[in-house]
């Protein structure tokens, strides 16, 4: 099957970090935790940039089933204080109607309050998508990503801390990128998500989506977490942590370590963290760090440091 002629071949985003920080804040206050975590990174990359923000709006389920409104609002406000603008919020829901999910999660109200554009990916036209193909990809026909993401001046995504019972094993920042990929593109009947969810290579394909873009910031809301089940419901624990970083692999590695700390599924518990298929494929593609020794958990207070000391040994 030939894809629409409006598609273009995408480039891969790779880099080779020697070490990367992951901000680690122990907190029950999402707004304060987001601000403190971003401050720990000392980022100065948003001034004067148009920034695309990707939440976890796979569904409208209560956090950690989806992004908490306080978390998204705190990120948007922080970006404003860092000089970013204009802002765009966008997503595609896999377990509901995207526009309805965004309405329930107050995305349009936030957009109005902060003068941010809100984009429903399901409503994009054929010319709004770009096809990304890789020589060694597990995607049979490649995958499509919105042009608005590919050409943004900066990209921020925020994810939750949880397992995934439908084959992903866990859904953190790498898995959150699935919402950037099209299920259908207008004029093309191919179901990209059916291919993903039926493939034995699903977790590798998740990682491959991440080669299409590079985020400037990832914020993981782990104030509450699902240690089993997911993505919409599961065993709930109060992990009381906010993570932030610029490296998706590093953030996810710390996230998996947190899930293991609280006791999680056999799939997420087995082997080393860097042998987990999502992380192993992402490292192979040089999307992020390739070795746990490259990850530096940074804290700014005693309570956070004491908690981080319990997590650091679990990453190796």
Whichever domain contains 137, its CATH number is: 3.40.50.11440
**Number of domains forming the structure of the chain:** 1
pLDDT at residue 90, rounded to an integer: 98
Residue 8 is assigned to a structural domain of this protein: no
pLDDT at residue 7, rounded to an integer: 41
Residue 192 is assigned to a structural domain of this protein: yes
pTM confidence score? 0.94
- Is-cis flag, bond preceding 86, omega within 30? yes
Residue 235 is assigned to a structural domain of this protein: yes
In the chain, where do the E strands start and end? 20-26, 51-54, 87-91, 116-120, 129-132, 143-146, 154-164, 169-170, 217-229, 234-237, 241-245, 295-298
Give tens-digit pLDDT for 147-176: 999 999 999 999 999 999 999 999 999 999
Residue 13 is assigned to a structural domain of this protein: no
pLDDT at residue 19, rounded to an integer: 87
For residue 57, the enclosing domain spans: 20-315
Burial class (CB in 10 A: 0-12, 13-18, 19+), 139: buried
Residue 227 is assigned to a structural domain of this protein: yes
């Amino acid at each position: 099957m030939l894809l629409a002629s409006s598609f273009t071949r995408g480039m891969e985003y790779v880099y080779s970090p020697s070490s990367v920080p992951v901000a680690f804040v122990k907190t029950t206050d999402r707004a304060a935790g987001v601000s403190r975590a971003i401050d720990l990174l000392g980022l100065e990359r948003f001034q004067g940039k148009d920034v695309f923000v990707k939440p976890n709006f796979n569904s409208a389920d209560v956090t950690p089933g989806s992004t908490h409104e306080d978390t998204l609002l705190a990120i948007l406000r922080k970006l404003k204080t860092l000089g970013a603008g204009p802002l765009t919020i966008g997503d595609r829901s896999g377990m509901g109607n995207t526009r309805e999910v965004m309405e329930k999660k107050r995305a349009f109200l936030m957009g109005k309050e902060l003068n941010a554009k809100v984009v429903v990916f399901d409503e994009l036209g054929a010319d709004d998508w770009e096809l990304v193909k890789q020589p060694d990809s597990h995607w049979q026909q490649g995958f499509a990503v919105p042009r608005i993401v590919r050409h943004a001046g900066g990209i921020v995504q925020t994810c939750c801390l949880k397992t995934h019972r439908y084959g992903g094993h866990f859904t953190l920042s790498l898995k959150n990128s699935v919402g950037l990929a099209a299920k259908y593109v207008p004029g093309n009947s191919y179901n990209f998500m059916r291919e993903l969810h039926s493939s034995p290579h699903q977790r590798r394909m998740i990682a491959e989506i991440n080669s299409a873009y590079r985020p400037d910031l990832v914020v993981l809301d782990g104030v509450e977490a699902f240690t089993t089940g997911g993505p919409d419901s599961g065993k709930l624990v109060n992990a009381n942590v906010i993570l932030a970083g610029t490296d998706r692999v590093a953030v996810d590695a710390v996230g998996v370590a947190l899930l293991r700390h609280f006791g999680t599924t056999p799939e997420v518990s087995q082997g080393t963290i860097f042998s987990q298929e999502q992380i192993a494929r992402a490292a192979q593609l040089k999307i992020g760090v390739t070795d746990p020794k490259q990850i530096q958990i940074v804290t700014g207070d005693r309570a956070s440091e004491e908690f981080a000391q319990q997590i650091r040994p679990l990453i190796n």
